[in-house]
Amino acid sequence: MKKLLEKVIENNRNYTEFGEVASYIPELTKANKNALGICVTTLKGEEICAGDCNTKFTIQSISKVITLIIALMDNGKEKTFSKVGVEPTTDAFNSIINLEAKNPNKPLNPMINAGAIATVSLIDGENSDEIFNKILNFTRKLAGNEDIHINENVYRCEKETGDRNRSLAYFMKSTGIITKDVENVLDVYFRQCSMEVTCKDISRIGAVLANNGVIPWTKERVIPEDIARVVKTIMVTCGMYDASGEFAVNIGIPAKSGVGGGIMASVPSNMGIGVFGPALDSKGNSIAGIKVLADLSKELNLSIF
Ligand code: GLN
């Protein structure tokens, strides 16, 4: 397996040249465009890494999976999906148009920004500190890593420049989707996006989902089985934004990407995979990371379809 991972990384590193690192905040432009790494966590507890697997990056939209799990555990499916839909999108992850144009006017799904902000507003807690700490502690638990923290510079920049997310959130307040203080909700969202992880962390989170919500290395159930199933389904239909259909056809694995360059994949009853490659394609997904997952899926016959 180690040899295979090294081969897929080296075979695909040249694709990093065809993408661009995220540039909407200065902090993300500092990433090494040619970095590419992978970690696989099997349900038997093996952990195999290759390439730039120790580089830290911000989790960004991959955190949307974690907040969806918590919102579902706090509220159940009926209440959660009365505020946010489960339908895929053909628009960009930060698109505004459907919020007003669709009927009912709730965000399409929890993996786009509007839906993720609505989802985080559903998490129980007295104040934003308490809610964020709940997200951080749950992320640490899923990743088996107490050393996950936020990157303060990224957090500050996200907050300073997040006007588009702000407009999505205020619009949703006006339509009754969000009922809490908008700035507090956004503060949690900006902090969750700024948590710093490695490939290993996200491969472990993918492994917990692959194991139907039971942590493979402690055997502790941390996510109800039905919620793990729902979340993996939404990862298939919506996890790669408006490239989810193509990803399902070519790779066929539940996955979630982030503009920090990470992709978290979860192969049911088999393994979690964490990939990092900060050069992104036009849809905001890791350009070489997708190629790596395509090769791996083919070599190991990982497609669930
Ligand atoms: N922080 C980013 C944003 O809210 C996350 C987006 C992403 O990873 N696609 O715009």
Percent of the chain with pLDDT over 90: 93
What SS3 class is residue 282? coil
Residue 61 annotated among the catalytic residues of the structure: yes
Whether the per-residue pLDDT at 98 is higher than 90: the answer is no
Q: Is 61 in the pocket of ligand 1 (CB under 6 A)?
A: yes
Confidence of residue 277 (pLDDT cuts 50, 70, 90): very high
Whether the per-residue pLDDT at 230 is higher than 90: the answer is yes
CB 293 within 8 A of CB 37: no
Confidence of residue 14 (pLDDT cuts 50, 70, 90): very high
| For helices 128-143 and 63-83, angle between their N-to-C axes, nearest 10 degrees | 120
Confidence of residue 141 (pLDDT cuts 50, 70, 90): very high
Task: For residues 284 and 248, give the distance between their C-alpha atoms in angstroms, rounded to a whole number.
Answer: 17
Q: Does domain 63-193 have CATH number 3.40.710.10?
A: yes
What are residue 39's DSSP bridge partners? 49, 274
Q: Is 259 in the pocket of ligand 1 (CB under 6 A)?
A: yes
What CATH number matches the domain at 2-60+195-299, 2.102.10.10, 3.40.710.10, 4.10.520.10, 3.30.390.30? Answer: 3.40.710.10
Whether the per-residue pLDDT at 156 is higher than 90: the answer is yes
> What ranges make up the beta strands (E) of the chain?
37-42, 47-51, 57-58, 196-197, 255-257, 262-267, 271-276
Whether the per-residue pLDDT at 88 is higher than 80: the answer is yes
Average pLDDT of the chain? 96
Q: Is 297 in the pocket of ligand 1 (CB under 6 A)?
A: no
Report the pLDDT value the prediction gives residue 195, as an integer from 0 to 100.
Answer: 98
Q: Give ranges for CATH 3.40.710.10 in the chain.
A: 2-60+195-299, 63-193
Mutate to test the pocket of ligand 1, among 60, 120, 185, 282 (most ligand atoms within 8 A of CB): 60
